[in-house]
A and B are shown apart, each in its own frame.
Chain A
Amino acid sequence: MSENAIIEIEDVSKSFGSVTALSGVDAIIREGEFFSLLGPSGCGKTTLLRLIAGFDEPTGGTVSIAGEPMAGKPANMRPTNMVFQSYAIFPHLSVGENVGYGLKKKKMSRQEIADEVTRALAMVDLAGYGDRAAHELSGGQRQRVALARALVMKPKVVLLDEPLSALDKKLREQMQIELRQLQKQIGITFILVTHDQEEALIMSDRIAVLFEGEIAQLDTPEALYRRPVNKRVASFIGVMNFMPATVTASSDTAMSVNIPSLGQVDLRADQLPEGLNPAAVDTIGVRPEMLTILFDESETAEREAPGEVTSASYCGDMTYYSVLLAQADEPVTISMRNTTGRSILTPGTQVRVGWGHESVVLFD
């Protein structure tokens, strides 16, 4: 993956009548990366994708692709191709005709088109399906045809609008991995729109999280999960326990935080989100897997806090406990892997909860 920008989005806003869909969005998408636009429905992620594709024009700001501003260029003039949420397979054309649809506009011989179509179909594991009618395809096959139809155009960027949302869970998980592998293999930039945080984490090199028409955070999946910039991002991606806290001392290299329900902890500066104002910190967050229930006396942790199990939800490989810490008003969620020797604790059990300075994320 190179560091060259393929798409530059500068101060882009879009409104439909009085409704603002996007405001002041800035982002740079790098050549060859798998980039995701993640957010709840209505956050503007699809709008942004459509602005890149050229189906809509921004109300303000510019979108540039490969260094060229796209203003005024309709979709048919842009080096992007889209995989639609509904797949938009032309129902009156065969699979092969669908894939070759866009090639007809390029100056290519019949034979060249046929070869390209065959190659594209092979790429998505649909070799030999060229003569099938569109309505004979299953959901997963339609998705592959839509992808082949975009890839055959050799676009600079492939845009995917929730391409997996219509598939069932098993198939979706399989396609997530396949899509990711295919993208790495051919090296074309993919931009994926999704509302499924897990899907975004699995597939992407980088993710932009959008809320209400603005990018809340643009980061790698790991950074997004480990160091969310605010509470909203934190609770949108995975589960986060929030607890009140105050900063008792801070320097350039470290920060002391008092968490009434857990205790006192010192945090290193590199663990803190950029631009955090120590004075404004009033909350910390802890992921459920960053807390442990210490099952017997021999188990220890960096720090410990007493608590009582209030409920347990058994999920097969994991059990999710609600634990009320001694100094807290509300229970926290703790996830525990059900490895051998661990029984399910019943509500009322007194436990020791283990944690450490790496468990904690600060929020202002």
Chain B
Amino acid sequence: MNVTRFLSRNWLVSYAVVYMVLLYLPALLLPLFAFNSSTIIAFPLKGFTLEWFGVLIETKALHKAVQNSLIIALITSAISTLLGILGARAIVRFRFPLKRGIVGLIMVPLILPEIIVGVSLLVLLMQIGISLSIWTVIAGHVLICLPFSVAILSSAFQGLDPSLEEASMDLGETRFGTFRRVIFPLILPGIISSMLITFTISLDEFIIAFFLTGTDVTLPVYIWGQMRFPAKLPSIMALGTILLLLSIFLLVLGELFRRRSARRQGKSTSPTGGLV
């Protein structure tokens, strides 16, 4: 191997390693300070404590926020996945008029600044006279989760050989029977993956929730409120640690399902998960 090529390879590898370390470094602070007994977030670390997790258990308002967020995330993931199934199926299997425009509108929240989504929904709701509640947050969250559902499920439908459906019909099955016996089992991992990812997005989403939340605040809105008080910072670190672990758990689960889906269909996995 010639010298310049060897150096360039090593240069890239070291770059990648540094990049990944910097990407994760901030997140690593969460557990570090969540177990640190000092009330200020600074080095050097003082000692080990579980006190901040204890604080979380005692805070009633937090429990309510967690409950709200879980309900919102659950309903959001169900609705956006359901709409995503319809959309993805239409996009992958059918040609229809104005397809580009329609798909574009559905996917545009992917790049639209969230403040625009939040503000415009708020203005509309104010005009119609609908008061803010967890349902208004769900409405906004479904909107931003839908593009992800559509993308994930599109890749699931894309992996489905159209002749499988024809084979099923040819063997005497009805349309509904074909969906139940062939399509559904084959895209099920995609459905689960979509539900897990949209659940995670909704659980963590702040900006839209900030505008659309009523008296029942979501968890990120609650955290935002607590950030003003320096004394609360250690417990936010503890809360953040839990949230981080939960998110990673859900994402790993979603990823495993996505790969299983691809394997089942006998296709190699697309490494980007159909998101791009």
The answer on a CB contact under 8 Å between A91 and B172 is no
Q: Does B8 contact A (CB under 8 A)?
A: no
Of the listed stretches B64-72, B158-166, B218-226, B237-245, chain A binds B158-166
Q: Does B196 contact A (CB under 8 A)?
A: no
The answer on a CB contact under 8 Å between A81 and B163 is no
The answer on a CB contact under 8 Å between B167 and A92 is no
Give the contacts of B130-178 with A (CB-CB under 8 A).
161, 163-164, 166-174, 177
Q: Does B247 contact A (CB under 8 A)?
A: no
In whole angstroms, how far apart are the Cα atoms of A82 and B161 in the complex? Answer: 15
The answer on a CB contact under 8 Å between A88 and B172 is no
Check A81/B171 contact, CB under 8 A, given A55-B166, A105-B177, A135-B266: yes
In whole angstroms, how far apart are the Cα atoms of A54 and B175 in the complex? Answer: 14
The answer on a CB contact under 8 Å between B265 and A82 is no
The answer on a CB contact under 8 Å between B169 and A76 is yes
- Write out, one digit per residue, whether chain A residues 173-207 have a CB within 8 A of any chain B CB (1) or not (0): 00000000000000000000000000000000000
* Whole-angstrom distance between the Cβ of B259 and the nearest chain A Cβ: 14
The answer on a CB contact under 8 Å between B169 and A75 is yes
- Write out, one digit per residue, whether chain B residues 256-270 have a CB within 8 A of any chain A CB (1) or not (0): 000000001110000
Task: Name the prevailing secondary structure of the A interface residues.
Answer: loop
Q: Does B230 contact A (CB under 8 A)?
A: no
Q: Does B104 contact A (CB under 8 A)?
A: no
Q: Does B250 contact A (CB under 8 A)?
A: no
The answer on a CB contact under 8 Å between A85 and B163 is yes
In whole angstroms, how far apart are the Cα atoms of A284 and B266 in the complex? Answer: 53
Q: Does B186 contact A (CB under 8 A)?
A: yes
Check A101/B171 contact, CB under 8 A, given A88-B161, A91-B264, A91-B265: yes
In whole angstroms, how far apart are the Cα atoms of A101 and B180 in the complex? Answer: 13
Q: Does A310 contact B (CB under 8 A)?
A: no
The residue in chain B whose Cβ has the minimal distance to the Cβ of A84 is B163
In whole angstroms, how far apart are the Cα atoms of A74 and B181 in the complex? Answer: 18
The answer on a CB contact under 8 Å between A84 and B264 is no
Q: Does B182 contact A (CB under 8 A)?
A: yes
Q: How many residues of A contact B (CB 8 A)?
A: 24
* Whole-angstrom distance between the Cβ of B250 and the nearest chain A Cβ: 25
- Complex contacts, A85 vs chain B, CB 8 Å: 163
- Write out, one digit per residue, whether chain A residues 89-112 have a CB within 8 A of any chain B CB (1) or not (0): 011100000000110011000000
- Complex contacts, A134 vs chain B, CB 8 Å: 266
Contact of A102 (CB < 8 Å), options: B171, B174, B264 = B171
Give the contacts of A56-95 with B (CB-CB under 8 A).
74-76, 80-82, 84-86, 88, 90-92
Contact of A88 (CB < 8 Å), options: B167, B177, B185 = B167
In whole angstroms, how far apart are the Cα atoms of A76 and B177 in the complex? Answer: 11
- Complex contacts, B264 vs chain A, CB 8 Å: 91-92
* Whole-angstrom distance between the Cβ of A117 and the nearest chain B Cβ: 13
Specify which of A54, A86, A90, A106 lies most central, judged by the most chain B CB atoms within 10 Å of its CB.
A90
The answer on a CB contact under 8 Å between A88 and B169 is no
The residue in chain A whose Cβ has the minimal distance to the Cβ of B186 is A92
In whole angstroms, how far apart are the Cα atoms of A86 and B170 in the complex? Answer: 15
The answer on a CB contact under 8 Å between A90 and B173 is no
Specify which of B169, B171, B172 lies most central, judged by the most chain A CB atoms within 10 Å of its CB.
B171
The answer on a CB contact under 8 Å between A90 and B167 is yes
The answer on a CB contact under 8 Å between A90 and B170 is no
The residue in chain A whose Cβ has the minimal distance to the Cβ of B185 is A92
The answer on a CB contact under 8 Å between B172 and A90 is no
Q: Does A153 contact B (CB under 8 A)?
A: yes
Q: Does A149 contact B (CB under 8 A)?
A: yes
In whole angstroms, how far apart are the Cα atoms of A74 and B265 in the complex? Answer: 26
* Whole-angstrom distance between the Cβ of A149 and the nearest chain B Cβ: 7
The answer on a CB contact under 8 Å between B265 and A75 is no
Check A102/B166 contact, CB under 8 A, given A91-B186, A135-B266: no
Q: Does A286 contact B (CB under 8 A)?
A: no
Q: Does A160 contact B (CB under 8 A)?
A: no
Q: Does A53 contact B (CB under 8 A)?
A: yes
In whole angstroms, how far apart are the Cα atoms of A362 and B173 in the complex? Answer: 51
- Complex contacts, A86 vs chain B, CB 8 Å: 161, 163
The residue in chain A whose Cβ has the minimal distance to the Cβ of B169 is A75
The answer on a CB contact under 8 Å between A74 and B169 is yes
Q: List 20 A-B contacts (CB under 8 A).
A: A53-B166, A55-B166, A75-B166, A76-B169, A76-B170, A76-B172, A76-B174, A81-B171, A82-B166, A84-B166, A86-B161, A86-B163, A88-B161, A90-B168, A92-B185, A102-B171, A106-B172, A134-B266, A153-B171, A153-B172
Q: A55-B166, A76-B172, A76-B174 are in contact. List 8 more A-B contacts (CB 8 A).
A: A55-B169, A75-B170, A76-B171, A81-B171, A85-B163, A92-B185, A101-B168, A105-B172
Nearest first, the 8 closest Cβ-Cβ pairs linking A and B are A102-B171, A88-B167, A88-B163, A75-B169, A105-B172, A84-B163, A82-B170, A76-B172
